Amino acid sequence: MADTLTARRLKEIAALHQKKYRERRGEVLVEGVRAVEAAVEAGAPLVEVLVTASARAEARVAALLARVEVPVYEVAGRDLERLSDVRTSQGVLAVVRAAWLPEHALTTGTALVVLDGVQDPGNVGTILRTAAWFGADAVLVGPGTADVYNPKTVRATMGGLWDLGIARTDDLPGVLERLRTSGWHLYGADLEGEPARRWQPARPAALVLGSEAHGLSPAVRAVLHARVSIRGRTSGRRRGVESLNVATAAGILLHAWLGSA
């Protein structure tokens, strides 16, 4: 028998679509069967699960619910639709505790991805998914970057969010400078950098990805050891194309760096 969700709690969960409430409560929404499965498999800190009666009757959902050790609330389909940010809800939604990696823990790994003002939630989510696929240890999020716990970002990670340590800072150049002082090698994706085919990154290393519109910020560029670029067959300018999408560039560079590691 499912527990009963109060109207007050339903309102609190609905508010998690807004960043200020996610920050205040330290909670994030994870929607969809596969997304919730991924969170459970990774041991993400679930708070509760909401499910409709029709979804609960499905074998896959029933098996998923049997694995969770938090309250499960059965809600009306119309209520879950109001909580959903997708056109057609799958009838399953989880609330998960947001987890942040402290700065000092960044140095426990050897491969770090850094986001310097990547603004699109879909791009951020795809980068996190790709970083997890290639085995990066953590992602450091700087100012101006889309919230990694935005529902669209979470969805785009396809579960990869839970396989990474996520840290954030308001002083990205300062954190990078401290990493550099402690022996880290800092590289940035940049149109004017060294061609990726000649890139031989040392370890431990951080790869910095800049904003879609402006690239790396000057303060971050100043602390890098080197910059690396992806060259197109016509220098990236064929038919008006000036650069790669940042998530696409991240995938190419992560493969070059970690793909055969």
Domain limits for position 21 = 7-97
Does residue 236 sit in the same domain as residue 111?
yes
Does residue 111 sit in the same domain as residue 74?
no
* pTM given for the model: 0.91
Looking at 97, 113, 147, the residue that finishes a domain is: 97
Q: Is the CB of residue 250 less than 8 Å from the CB of residue 209? A: yes
Q: What beta strand segments (E) does 54-120 contain?
A: 72-74, 92-97, 111-116
Question: How far is 134 from 162, CA to CA, in rounded Å?
Answer: 14
Report pLDDT for 244.
Answer: 85
Q: Calculate the alpha carbon distances from 259 to 12, 121, 133, 134, 194 in Å.
A: 42, 24, 9, 6, 19
> For position 30, which CATH number holds?
3.30.1330.30
Q: How many domains does the chain have?
A: 2
Does residue 243 sit in the same domain as residue 120?
yes
Report pLDDT for 239.
Answer: 57
Does residue 155 sit in the same domain as residue 194?
yes
Coil, strand, or helix at residue 169? coil
Has residue 56 been placed in a domain? Answer: yes
Has residue 190 been placed in a domain? Answer: yes
pLDDT tens for the chain, 261 residues long, are 556 789 999 999 999 999 999 999 999 999 999 999 999 999 999 999 999 999 999 999 999 999 999 999 999 999 999 898 887 889 999 999 999 999 999 999 999 999 999 999 999 999 999 999 999 999 999 999 999 999 999 999 999 999 999 999 999 999 999 999 999 999 999 998 999 989 999 999 999 999 999 999 999 999 999 999 998 766 555 555 567 899 999 999 999 999 865
Does residue 190 sit in the same domain as residue 238?
yes
Does residue 132 sit in the same domain as residue 239?
yes
Does residue 155 sit in the same domain as residue 77?
no
Report pLDDT for 133.
Answer: 96
Does residue 49 sit in the same domain as residue 155?
no
